[in-house]
A and B are shown apart, each in its own frame.
Chain A
Amino acid sequence: MMQEKRTIKVSKQKDGYGITFNAMACSCEVLIQTSDKNLAKQVGLCVSDEVWRIEDKYSRYDRQSICSQINTSEGRKVSIDEETYLLLNFAEQCYQLSDGLFDISSGVLRKVWAFDGLSCECQHFPNQDDINNILSFVGWHKVIYDRHSITLPNKMQIDFGGIGKEYAVDRCILLAKQLTDKPLLVNLGGDLAVTGPREENQPWQVAIENPKSNKPEKKQDMIIAINQGALATSGDAKRFLIKDGIRYGHILNAKTGWPVAEAPRSITTVAPQCIQAGILATLALLQGKDAESFLTEQEITFWARR
């Protein structure tokens, strides 16, 4: 994967500045309510550096990343630092809370499930033997880790894709708060968080893209007002498979090795922190047709698209 150009663009907006950059294969944005351009630039640099740092450290595509080091360790123990340990611990909690449905070692299943939005009607539907074969390399409970190291069984892989971007949003909010008290918003490809309400206690208006719509004027059909906390969206309507009339999304059930059937195309949830919102949305998608009732029972505010 070619690395995107690492520069930031600062632009004046109605009541502040916007900073845009590319990272983690998406467009990223910081909005800050200030008239101080230097401050805006300083915050922009701080946020973008942090996002790129996390990308470099945890991308499974980057061969230098700790993620790749772990995935190519062939069963050997790999030293990890505190941050990695904390992320693994978080993944462990999610694994436990979802009774194994959410599993950061499930990425190898992509070897048999090639999602392609354009050729939606199944062309390479795997057979059960292929799935069973690859399933033997899935299972977070087989991973041994502690505060200082991780040992991944040979041929297993982990991937921080399910939590990395949301984690980056939360980290950026923490760092930006150290630089300024001005209201700001960090948006990494739709997963976003704010430091608090805008001036005069006004909420931020956030538009959520409709992935189904190809008309630019209708693309953003959902506006959410957010005062505090974070929003995350899980699901990707462009990537799915249809077999025997059943639509399978790209979210895979780590226990069966199958994509989850009849899940909403996407779910957006709110939570105090972005990583929580992201996990809640993903856990809901994993419930398939019961996604909405799952969130309702948990008393979580959400928007689902079917």
Chain B
Amino acid sequence: MACIGNKTNLKAALSIATSALLGTSVATTSQVQAKDADEWQFDTAYLLYSEVDRVTAGEAIIAGTKTYANDEILNLKFTVDALTGSSANGAVAQPNAQTFTRPSGNGQYVTPAGETPLDDTFQDTRVQLNGQWTQPLVENITGSVGGHFSKEYDYLSLGVNGNLAYDFNKKNSTFSMGLSYFHDIFTPEGGIPKPLSSMLVGDSSSPEWDSEFAKTRVGDSEDKSTADILVGFTQVISRRMITAFNYSYSMVDGYLTDPFKVVSVLNTEGLVQDNIYENRPDSRVKQSTFMQAKYHFDEGMLNMVADVSYRYMWDDWGINSHTIDTRFNIPVGRASYIEPHLRFYQQSAADFFKPFLIEDQSSIDFISADYRIGEMTAVTVGAKYGVVLTGGNELSIRLEYYHQMPTNSGFAEPAALNGLDTAPVVDAIIVQVSYSF
């Protein structure tokens, strides 16, 4: 006689199979099956991001989803990031070696001649917790609320969000609206540098050092708040096609400067005279529009699902960006797929972005040489392979290559910078392994 499962597994497995077939939630089936609904669905992932000669980040995620009776869904996500390596401090390369003081004020580091100055003290661990509760409110309206907590050694972020989605037109159309609010507190080691003040360089073991260093500081901590409004519309066009449109408006107020970044002050020949701490405006209004189309091709096109999206972002700092993201999900055999990914990104520089400052130029209010708000083009290419294992658990691996090319948005370079790489490219490899059970 064949052995069919164990005692409780058959009923449980059948009710899960049935809910998959009928698109109903397991929990609504009946009290008899209530036990099955108590089970959590887990997704785990490990991601490694590694820039050539710069930052390496490892990230582990575990997310659990539990569906209750009446289609209520609880989602909890726990993330741990660890960051090590070096990050550009904003100063330009020079024909001679340069000395910089660490952000903490404890010691100095030297950048060899001809190299991009990198602060090698980057090391941080971040713990993040997100929770989201989603439930139907009235017919065709789903509500969702969530909370966010994230903590680093020198950073604390707290956030709340709420969303409403309205289905109509036989659930072929969905209109959604969301609000979120974040409050972040930044307490960098060594305090907040005084904007535009000169970086103190000298003998940090001398008795006067601490009092001199303190003169370049304005406090221990700063904070910022972010409020976002998101409006979205999703439309099923046909059985093969679905489209989505989003608009978001984001207001950030508070400390938006990066306390670890400086700007080189050059003489007319191009030699560094001074490094001053950067200063950014204390507010930023960001808007973006997003459109996406997914199309499910037939057998002639390998049953592929094409996912193409475009985002346009603009803000009152003068940055605008275009992102084109394409993914092609191609089934391979009975239970696996391969998904090539291509992403193109281009942004213009912020109005106050300058790769360096020339001495005796007229006075400035805001300045930053952070390449992340400069003009740049970036490309990501990669692929993901996923396989459904026996028992229904899914394993996937993603491998991507990221190439970022800063471009000079019309800054004439003095003679001493000739032949030096003042806009270095960033190359990174991304590897992610995910497992769902």
Chain A residues in contact with chain B, CB under 8 A? 77, 79, 81, 86-87, 89-90, 93-94, 97-101, 144-149, 167, 170-171, 174, 228-229, 255, 271-273, 275-276, 279-280, 283, 286-288, 290, 294, 297-300
Contact = CB atoms under 8 A, between A and B. Distances in A.
Contacts of A283: 4, 10
B17 A93 contact: yes
Given A87-B21, A94-B17, 10 more contacts: A77-B299, A90-B20, A90-B21, A97-B14, A101-B2, A144-B333, A170-B18, A171-B22, A228-B30, A276-B14
Contact of B13 (A77, A93, A273): A93
B14 A279 contact: yes
Contacts of A77: 299
Contacts of B22: 170-171, 174, 273, 275
Secondary structure at the A interface, as helix, strand, loop or mixed, is mixed
B7 A298 contact: yes
Contact of A272 (B10, B21, B29, B333): B29
B364 interface: no
B299 A89 contact: no
B372 interface: no
Contacts of B239: 81
Contact of A149 (B4, B21, B296, B303): B303
| B contact residues, range | 20 to 34
B415 interface: no
B299 A272 contact: no
A276 B239 CA distance: 28
A34 B334 CA distance: 47
Contact of A89 (B10, B15, B20, B30): B20
B82 to A, nearest CB: 37
Contacts of A89: 17, 20-21
Contacts of B298: 79, 148
Given A146-B335, A171-B22, A98 B4 contact: yes
B7 A290 contact: no
A290 B1 contact: yes
B2 A280 contact: no
Given A94-B17, A146-B334, A99 B303 contact: no
B13 A276 contact: no
A273 B18 contact: yes
Nearest to A279: B14
A149 B299 contact: yes
A186 B205 CA distance: 87
Contacts of B299: 77, 79, 148-149
Contact of B21 (A167, A255, A280, A294): A167
B174 to A, nearest CB: 17
B13 A145 contact: no
Interface string B17-53: 1101110100001101100000000000000000000
Nearest to B16: A93
B11 A145 contact: no
A182 B11 CA distance: 29
A146 B29 contact: no
Q: Which 8 A-B pairs have the closest CB atoms?
A: A148-B303, A272-B29, A93-B17, A272-B30, A90-B21, A146-B331, A79-B299, A99-B2
Contacts of A147: 303, 331
Nearest to B302: A148
Nearest to A275: B18
Nearest to A273: B18
A279 B1 CA distance: 18
A144 B334 CA distance: 6
B138 interface: no
Contacts of A87: 21
